[in-house]
């Protein structure tokens, strides 16, 4: 009786470890790729992104599947570009990168994040157009690109109800 209880617990633990190492191989690679394009990190927040910590700073994971569902790196003074590998975080629903110094273009790969609900990039130095591919993010409800350099948006790329929010925040 007792033995079978402990062996069940052991089986569950092994299953959990296998599940978590799955996260390590998929989302971990993407997070490291994101980190690799950040050239300055004055608060050292990404220095906490290493394989030994299950809970990385600024990274929100789903409680059941342990996949990355949110990135909250607002107000961190980050300098660099946004890696297209962000699209490999396929469970991502929230991206908050407000008030950093990120430049370059918004990667069109973001269009494959079909669970994305919020794309918040105000007060950075992103340039060029919002990629049309973002129209594939059909759950996108909130998009804030205010305070960026010369971002243009073609008419088709943002659909209602996001479009209204977008116009509100676009400047
Ligand atoms: C992202 O996914 C693509 C396609 O599956 C793969 O080729 C690429 O190596 C991945 N990048 C990272 C950083 O995981
Ligand atoms: C990972 O982060 C922890 C906490 O900051 C640190 O103590 C440890 O040395 C780091 N490990 C590596 C391999 O960088
Ligand atoms: C963007 O969408 C176009 C189709 O409109 C597709 O050909 C292209 O591969 C997509 N790019 C990315 C990076 O997903
Ligand atoms: C953007 O920066 C301005 C000026 O510092 C600030 O007033 C505004 O609140 C910032 N916007 C956001 C969304 O943080
Ligand atoms: C949106 O996704 C569909 C397939 O899911 C693809 O055929 C289409 O080219 C994508 N459009 C854009 C603009 O990425
Ligand atoms: C956006 O709309 C304006 C006016 O309705 C039109 O002139 C322009 O061609 C449209 N641009 C695109 C990329 O569809």
What is the DSSP secondary structure assignment for residue 46, as one 8-state letter?
A: G
Cβ contact 138:113 at 8 Å:
no
Relative to the CA of 74, which ligand 4 atom is closest?
14
What pTM did the predictor assign?
0.76
CA of 87 to the centre of ligand 5 (A): 14
Take atom 7 of ligand 3 and give the residue whose Cα is closest: 133
Relative to the CA of 88, which ligand 1 atom is closest?
1
Question: pLDDT class for 10, splitting at 50, 70, 90?
Answer: low
Q: What is the residue-averaged pLDDT of the chain?
A: 80
Q: Say if residue 54's pLDDT is above 90.
A: no
Take atom 11 of ligand 1 and give the residue whose Cα is closest: 85
What was the pLDDT predicted at 72? Answer: 96
Cβ contact 108:85 at 8 Å:
no
Q: Average pLDDT in the 5-25 region?
A: 57
Using alpha carbons, list the distances in angstroms from residue 75 to 2, 36, 47, 58, 122.
52, 19, 16, 11, 10
Q: What is the pLDDT of residues 58-98, one digit of tens each?
A: 999 888 878 899 999 999 999 999 999 999 999 999 999 99
What was the pLDDT predicted at 161? Answer: 46
Contacts of 97 (CB under 8 A, 6+ apart): 71, 73, 74, 78, 82, 120, 121, 124
Sequence length of the chain is 171
Q: What is the DSSP string of 89-150?
A: -TT--EEE--SSEEEEEPPGGGGG-TT--EEE--SSEEESBPPGGGGG-TT--EEE-TT-SS
**CA–CA separation, 13 vs 127, rounded Å?**
47
**């157009």: which residue's tokens?**
129
CA of 106 to the centre of ligand 3 (A): 13
What was the pLDDT predicted at 70? Answer: 95
């Amino acid at each position: 009786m007792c033995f079978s209880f402990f062996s069940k617990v052991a089986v569950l633990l092994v299953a959990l470890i296998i599940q978590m190492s799955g996260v390590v191989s998929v989302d971990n690679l993407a997070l490291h790729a994101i980190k690799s394009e950040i050239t300055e990190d004055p608060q050292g927040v990404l220095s906490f992104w290493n394989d030994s910590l299950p809970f990385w700073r600024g990274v929100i994971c789903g409680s059941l599947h342990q996949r990355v569902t949110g990135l909250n790196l607002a107000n961190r003074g980050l300098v660099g570009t946004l890696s297209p590998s962000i699209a490999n975080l396929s469970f991502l629903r929230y991206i908050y990168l407000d008030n950093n110094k990120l430049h370059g273009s918004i990667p069109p790969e973001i269009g494959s994040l079909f669970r994305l609900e919020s794309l918040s990039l105000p007060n950075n130095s992103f340039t060029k157009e919002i990629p049309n591919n973002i129209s594939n993010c059909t759950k996108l409800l909130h998009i804030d690109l205010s305070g960026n350099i010369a971002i243009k948006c073609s008419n088709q790329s943002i659909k209602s109800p996001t479009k209204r929010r977008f116009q509100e925040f676009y400047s």
